[in-house]
């Protein structure tokens, strides 16, 4: 289980993470979502003992990562697939891991087979790996100690569709066997397919936290209009958040009846008006992060005001 309580991280006067709290229950996959600069990676780095918090706690099975006696046997971590020794082979990377964790060498072959790296790939230097191969090796390393918890930041980067499908099944099976997964990814459809719970962060603050079903059930109204700008202005003037989608529609945090009345009052012709339940995670993400950006506190770090590369 992962427990994060009132976690805050400041860099001087800038706040990267602001009183963040959420839990990842045993046997579940939690999707951790937010735009670049929202505080996802900072939160995960604090959780894994790589960055110190300004205040608050981040616990894994009741303890800070640094207090775990042999962390690799409890927590599998993949935060940056490119942070691997380019001069070693994949097999050597995993062999060194077994030595550090006190595991039998047979575990190396098992993990290589699990992630689909054949003998030729295993004996190739990591510097010659594609990004997808690095991701597979990183997952193998994270799973090496048979941990009860996985913390993964963008593990699908560089994977082809077949690889993404494979990873989804791997994580689902891991959680179903009693593992805990915290998964950060910009591939919203993949997160929607595998996650049990969703945590959305924007400008360092939690914008939403709950089960996938309950969050997607309240995704607002999707509307298309001949003159969308006119309708958007009317809705915003009434205090509603309006978020344009990639395909030209508007996502509104209001009931369809309210949106229809606003359109009638402004004489706007609508071509589509429906609840956004079917719009899925992308619509929810746009709505929540837009609201979080609008409510950002002074001094919060955002994508255009980032003091260090580690903040995402």
- Nearest one of 171, 176, 154, 148 to 72, comparing CA atoms: 148
Q: What is the pLDDT of residue 195?
A: 92
Confidence of residue 312 (pLDDT cuts 50, 70, 90): very low
Do strands 149-153 and 75-78 pair parallel, antiparallel, or not at all (unpaired)? parallel
Q: What is the pLDDT of residue 45?
A: 95
Domain boundaries, the chain: 2-203, 216-294
Phi and psi of 74, rounded to 5°? Answer: -110, -35
- Nearest one of 120, 190, 196 to 162, comparing CA atoms: 190
Q: What is the pLDDT of residue 244?
A: 80
Instruction: Answer for the pair 250, 223: CB distance below 8 angstroms, yes or no.
Output: yes
Higher-confidence position of 252 and 312: 252
Q: Collapse the DSSP code of 45 into the 3-class scheme (helix H, G, I; strand E, B; otherwise coil) and give the result.
A: helix
Give the distance from CA 159 to its chain's centroid.
Answer: 16
Instruction: Answer for the pair 311, 266: CB distance below 8 angstroms, yes or no.
Output: no
CA distance 110 to 142: 13
Residue 63 has pLDDT above 90, yes or no: yes
Alpha helices for 177-220 (secondary structure H): 188-194, 212-216
Q: What is the pLDDT of residue 310?
A: 39
Instruction: Answer for the pair 202, 180: CB distance below 8 angstroms, yes or no.
Output: no
Phi and psi of 28, rounded to 5°? Answer: -130, 160
Q: Collapse the DSSP code of 70 into the 3-class scheme (helix H, G, I; strand E, B; otherwise coil) and give the result.
A: coil
The β-bridge partners of 232 are none
Q: What is the pLDDT of residue 188?
A: 81
pLDDT per residue as tens digits for the range 197-215: 999 888 899 988 888 877 7
3-state secondary structure 249-311: CEEECCCHHHHHHHHHHHCCCEEEEEEHHHHHHHHHHHHHHHHHHHCCCCCECCCCCCCCCCC
Topology alike, domains 2-203 and 216-294? no
Would residue 130 be called left, alpha or beta, if left means φ above 0 and alpha means ψ between -120 and 50 degrees? Answer: beta
CA distance 144 to 178: 17
Residue 292 has pLDDT above 50, yes or no: yes
Strand order in the sheet with 2-11: 14-24, 2-11, 55-60
pLDDT per residue as tens digits for the range 123-167: 999 999 999 999 999 999 999 999 999 999 999 888 888 999 999
The domain made up of 2-203 has a fold known as Rossmann fold (3.40.50)
Q: What is the pLDDT of residue 108?
A: 96
**26-40, 99-113, 289-303: which has the highest mean pLDDT?**
99-113
The hierarchical CATH code for the domain 216-294 is 3.30.70
Residue 220 has pLDDT above 80, yes or no: no
């Amino acid at each position: 289980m992962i427990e994060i309580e009132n976690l805050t991280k400041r860099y001087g006067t800038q706040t990267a993470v602001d009183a963040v709290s959420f839990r990842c229950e045993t046997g579940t996959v939690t999707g951790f979502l937010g735009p670049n600069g929202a505080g996802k990676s900072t939160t995960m780095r604090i959780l894994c003992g790589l960055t110190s918090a300004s205040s608050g706690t981040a616990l894994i099975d009741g303890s800070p990562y640094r207090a775990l006696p042999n962390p690799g046997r409890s927590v599998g971590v993949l935060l940056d697939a490119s942070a691997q020794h380019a001069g070693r082979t994949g097999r050597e990377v995993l062999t060194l891991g077994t030595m550090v964790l006190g595991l039998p060498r047979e575990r190396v072959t098992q993990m290589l087979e699990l992630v689909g790296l054949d003998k030729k790939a295993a004996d190739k230097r990591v510097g010659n790996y594609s990004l997808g191969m690095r991701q597979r090796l990183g997952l193998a390393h994270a799973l090496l100690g048979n941990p009860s918890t996985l913390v993964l930041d963008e593990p699908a980067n560089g994977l082809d569709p077949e690889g993404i499908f494979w990873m989804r099944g791997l994580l689902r099976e891991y959680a179903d066997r009693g593992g805990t997964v915290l998964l950060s990814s910009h591939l919203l459809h993949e997160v929607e397919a595998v996650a049990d719970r969703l945590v959305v962060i924007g400008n360092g603050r939690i914008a939403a936290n709950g089960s996938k079903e309950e969050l997607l059930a309240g995704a607002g109204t999707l509307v298309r209009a001949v003159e969308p700008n006119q309708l958007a202005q009317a809705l915003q003037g009434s205090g509603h958040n309006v978020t344009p989608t990639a395909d030209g529609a508007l996502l509104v945090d209001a009931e369809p009846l309210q949106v229809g009345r606003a359109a009638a009052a402004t004489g706007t012709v609508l071509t589509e008006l429906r609840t956004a339940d079917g719009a899925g995670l992308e619509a929810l993400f746009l709505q929540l992060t837009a609201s979080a950006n609008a409510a950002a506190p002074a001094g919060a770090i955002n994508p255009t005001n980032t003091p260090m590369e580690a903040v995402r």
